Amino acid sequence: MLKMKRISEVYGMKVFTDSGEYFGDVEEAVLTASKIYGWRVKAGRESFLGKILGGGAKGVIVPHNFVESVGDIMIIRKLAIPSSASEEIEGEEEE
């Protein structure tokens, strides 16, 4: 059976990458005329997204096709992370 959630139940939900890293919190749904286009995710304290964005932007829009599952938390593919930002993070970890 397909379980459905209301969009309002997803607001404030914690978002994790498919590798288990805390990414941020769902702030808003981005809708088109007939479907969900994506999710605006704000950077939480000590989140992977916060480390990527630094002090500049407060969040990102994750296209809905990068969402793996939605339950108690939202899981997104790591592909949703901009490649240049993930390369910078990996370079810092190697040092």
1 belongs to a structural domain: no
For the chain, give the DSSP string: ------HHHHTT-EEEETTS-EEEEEEEEEE-SSSEEEEEEEPPTT-HHHHHHTTS-SEEEEEGGGEEEESSSEEE-GGGS-HHHHHHHHHHHH-
Which CATH number goes with the domain that contains 63?
A: 2.30.30.240
Rounded to an integer, what is the distance from CA 20 to the centroid of its chain? 12
Does residue 27 fall inside a structural domain? Answer: yes
Domain contains 2: no
Does 25 map to a domain?
Answer: yes
* Per-residue pLDDT, 83: 55
Give me the number of domains the chain comprises: 1
Q: What is the mean predicted confidence (pLDDT) over 14-24?
A: 91
**Mean pLDDT, to the nearest integer, of 41-59?**
78
Q: pLDDT tens digits, residue range 63-74?
A: 999 999 998 999
Find tokens 């939480």 and name the residue.
44
Domain extent at residue 79: 7-94
Kindly state the tokens that stand for 76: 């997104």
User: 4: buried, middle or exposed (CB in 10 Å: 19+, 13-18, 0-12)?
Assistant: exposed
86, part of any domain: yes
Of the two residues 84 and 29, the one the predictor is more confident about is 29
